[in-house]
């Protein structure tokens, strides 16, 4: 009987902890989904646009919009977005403004930092 208790009690405790963990994950996931849905259904305000316009040119670019939305939705933090921007800028060594090309990656050897 004791041997059965020694095996059954730890197994039961582990199973119960696993069940509570999964239940908590479902509840938190649902709350996050509701919060995200509410955020995305909000109307943009003039203040939001002013905050999005990082370079102050009066226009909100796609990059500024996406950065604002990801940070506001707490998918990434602002420092991560700055770091990603630095990595992207390091890739653009060819002197053009139309994105990163294969030639840029070939030119960028030790100077470039991997996001991993």
At residue 90, the pLDDT reads: 76
Q: Could you count the other beta carbons within 10 Å of the beta carbon of residue 16?
A: 10
Nearest to 92 by CA among 83, 104, 82, 84: 104
DSSP string covering 47-76: HHHHHH-TT-SS---HHHHHHHHHHHTTSS
At residue 101, the pLDDT reads: 74
pTM exceeding 0.85: no
Which positions ≥6 away from 52 have C-beta within 8 Å? 60, 64, 65, 67, 68
Q: Is the pLDDT of residue 22 over 60?
A: yes
d(CA 59, CA 52): 9
| pLDDT, tens only, 70-85 | 888 888 888 898 888 8
Domain residue extents for the chain: 1-42
């Amino acid at each position: 009987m004791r041997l059965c208790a020694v095996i059954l009690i730890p197994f039961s405790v582990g199973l119960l902890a696993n069940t509570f963990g999964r239940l908590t994950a479902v509840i938190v996931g649902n709350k996050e989904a509701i919060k995200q849905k509410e955020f995305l259904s909000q109307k943009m305000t003039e203040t939001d646009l002013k905050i999005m316009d990082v370079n102050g040119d009066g226009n909100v670019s796609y990059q500024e919009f996406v950065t604002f939305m990801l940070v506001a939705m707490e998918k990434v933090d602002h420092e991560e977005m700055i770091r990603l921007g630095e990595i992207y800028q390091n890739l653009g060594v060819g002197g053009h403004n139309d994105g990163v090309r294969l030639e840029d990656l070939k030119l960028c050897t030790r100077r470039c930092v991997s996001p991993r």
